[in-house]
Amino acid sequence: MTQVVSNKTGRKKIVKASGENTEIKIIAKNFNDYIEVRTELKLDPKHKFNKDCHISIQPYESKGFAKPPMDMGTVGEPSDLVFNLDDISIDTLLFRIKVVDKNNIVKGFADEIRPDFSGGAGTSEGGDGSNTILPIKEDSSLKLPFAVQMEPGSKPVLLVKSKLNLKEQFKHDIKTKVFIYTSIIRQILTNYLSDKNYDDCTKKNLFLNKVLGNAGLDIELSEIPEYFNEDLTVNQEAIEWIEQTTAACIDTPVIFKGLKTNYLSLFEQKCKQQAIEEDNEN
């Protein structure tokens, strides 16, 4: 027997199918410091929404972090939007659309809408076309708070222990970001320079080029010092290069929470501010 489910609230889902039936399309381009988003909204008249119903769109991540909803006008006068997002992961970026009446009752919605990165500068998975230097993923199997996942032929990935809220802290707390970035970038550079298994790894060159670009260093990959001397001792020049490059990569101008700054300067500012607050408390 076919089961009939009654929808007593009167909600109607917005069609999310591709092709001619698509009512909401979200096109995204991934840049170095932000994601540019453009919407294309075409509500189907079959829903029979009142013209004064309000439409909103909300970016969020599958793990819970959400941006405030943004107004897209009314059903009678809808408005497509173009806006930028920062401090949000392209790997888990989703959108929801709501249509509400004057009493704030939901009349239509669509959830878990994935943006289309096909025409942008990056990909939803943070692939080679993405400017994301280090994708971040949660992992429940980690024994340490964070680690790097890397192997020849694959892009390095920052792993953070799940259920510790580290992913959100990494994106929104400058002190957590600098501590983790400093450790992980240094470790990746050391692995790439010291391990011969990465000599022919194409991902190695992509990562090094992005790090050098972020650090503002205009040098050829061939100019990077060899990690080992001829007698197999560690080359001190290579160690110093890794330290200097890591520091320069963190000390580059970025957009953090809508403001142009650099991680290292903001980190130092937060540390000094905390020291002053602790002195005042004492």
Residue 93 has pLDDT above 80, yes or no: yes
Confidence of residue 55 (pLDDT cuts 50, 70, 90): very high
Q: What is the count of structural domains for the chain? A: 2
Which tokens in the block code for residue 212? 């050098």
Same domain as 149, residue 268: yes
**pLDDT number for residue 189:** 96
Q: What angle do CA 119, 122, 123 make, to 5 degrees?
A: 85
Same domain as 244, residue 149: yes
Which tokens in the block code for residue 238? 């290579």
**pLDDT number for residue 10:** 52
Same domain as 169, residue 35: no
Same domain as 73, residue 143: no
Does a structural domain hold residue 119? Answer: no
Which tokens in the block code for residue 100? 């509400």
Confidence of residue 51 (pLDDT cuts 50, 70, 90): very high
Tell me the pLDDT of the chain averaged across its residues: 81
Average pLDDT on 56-79 reads 88
CATH code: domain of residue 16: 2.60.40.10
Same domain as 147, residue 68: no
Same domain as 24, residue 140: no
Same domain as 196, residue 90: no
Which tokens in the block code for residue 263? 């991680």
Same domain as 169, residue 91: no
Q: What is the pLDDT of residues 110-123, one digit of tens each?
A: 888 888 886 544 43
Same domain as 148, residue 257: yes
Does a structural domain hold residue 154? Answer: yes
Does a structural domain hold residue 131? Answer: no
* Gap between the terminal Cα atoms of the chain: 73
Same domain as 152, residue 101: no
**Alpha-carbon gap, residue 226 to 221, rounded angstroms:** 11
Same domain as 152, residue 230: yes
Task: Locate all alpha helices (DSSP H) within the chain, ordered by sequence.
Answer: 166-172, 174-194, 202-215, 236-250, 263-281
| Among the listed residues 3, 21, 6, the one whose alpha carbon sits nearest the alpha carbon of residue 110 | 21
Same domain as 179, residue 69: no
Residue-number span of the structural domain to which 264 is assigned = 136-281
Does a structural domain hold residue 183? Answer: yes
Does a structural domain hold residue 161? Answer: yes
Given a contact cutoff of 8 angstroms between Cβ atoms, the answer to whether 233 and 219 are in contact is no
